[in-house]
Amino acid sequence: MRAADPVEGTVAAVDFHLGHILASGQVFRWGRDVDGWWKGIACGTAFHLRQEGDRVFYRASADRVATCAGEMAVPEFLRWYLRIDEAPGVRVPGGDRYLRRARDLLRGFRFVRQEPFECVISYILSVQAHMTLTKRRINFLARTLGREIELMGERYWTFPAPDALACLNGRDFRRHRFGWRSERVATAARYVADTLKGAPAPVGLERWREVADGLRALPGTGVGLKVGKCIDLFSLERLDAVPVDTWVLKLAREWYGVVGSDAAVCAWAEARGGKWAGYVNEYLFVYYRELNGPSLYDRAISFCASGEPSAELPFEQV
């Protein structure tokens, strides 16, 4: 049987930089292929995306996409998912040369609207693990428990629903080398599945906020300050949230002379950045890492150079 033809088209995207958005590390299930397309899966649909000037070209595995904000046609979905028409209004305080350079470096960046459940599990898994390992674990869950989708001769897998993931217990995850995250992932998935049992689809943003706040309040879910802020920022429309990790701790100290606990630095950054604190922090985070750690595009470039299937790829050739 022949696979369905992809849905193709373009959307206008001004002051927008697809590569910054998908290479920044906020998403785990996108990769850049040797053919130049960004390939990934979002909200149960597989996509190929490529930007030329002020247009984003797309191929999609379906013409309509189900989200927590309702069902959308693909062009509408992409504008929503990638926040194409929502350029942030970050203003640089006079004299802050770090933020000015950081913002210039990341011009066109947006926070993607991630699916809440996938975001919750992904960031629980990201704790004290390298990006490649986290991606591998997420892809393992999708391939084991998700639904298979084909797009132009490539196989993709959707992220499993809460009740599917909740079928596994801590021992199951441990057997698959998830380490001490095993019990936490199982506990979190079980809580989400139980809390949303029988809830009519789609589960909306307000309900997801309640679920996420419940996870934060429940011990043993792996959702602490940092992971909770990632969930807020990446999937719950709380663009004023600042996740504080080791890099943010370092840049706060070195560039702004702010020293303290994670919670103290978080409070400082959120007060300073106001409604755009998440963007301010992301600019500084990426810029600081560009200077002191792995570059934004290292992974994408190394993948392009290899031409081999890798853990970075969200898909397999059929």
Partner DNA sequence: GGCCAGGCGCGAC
Partner DNA sequence: GTCGCGCATGGC
Question: Which residues form the interface with DNA (CB under 7 A)?
Answer: 24-26, 126-133, 174, 177-180, 184, 219-228, 230, 243, 245-247, 261-264, 285, 293
CB of 291 to DNA, least distance (A): 14
* Closer residue to DNA, CB minimum distance, 59 or 299: 299
d(CA 269, CA 62): 40
d(CA 156, CA 158): 7
CB of 127 to DNA, least distance (A): 4
Closest CA relative to residue 297, chosen from 80, 11, 32, 85: 32
Handedness of CA 15, 103, 212, 144 (dihedral sign): positive
d(CA 218, CA 304): 42
CB of 292 to DNA, least distance (A): 10
* Closer residue to DNA, CB minimum distance, 26 or 114: 26
* Closer residue to DNA, CB minimum distance, 70 or 219: 219
* Closer residue to DNA, CB minimum distance, 39 or 226: 226
d(CA 44, CA 58): 16
Burial-class residue 237 by CB neighbours within 10 Å (0-12, 13-18, 19+): middle
CB of 227 to DNA, least distance (A): 4
CB of 220 to DNA, least distance (A): 5
Instruction: Please state the φ and ψ torsions of residue 149, each to the nearest 5 degrees.
Output: -130, 145
* Closer residue to DNA, CB minimum distance, 44 or 273: 273
CB of 171 to DNA, least distance (A): 11
* Closer residue to DNA, CB minimum distance, 127 or 205: 127
Closest CA relative to residue 276, chosen from 72, 102, 30: 102
Tokens 């397309």 found at: 37
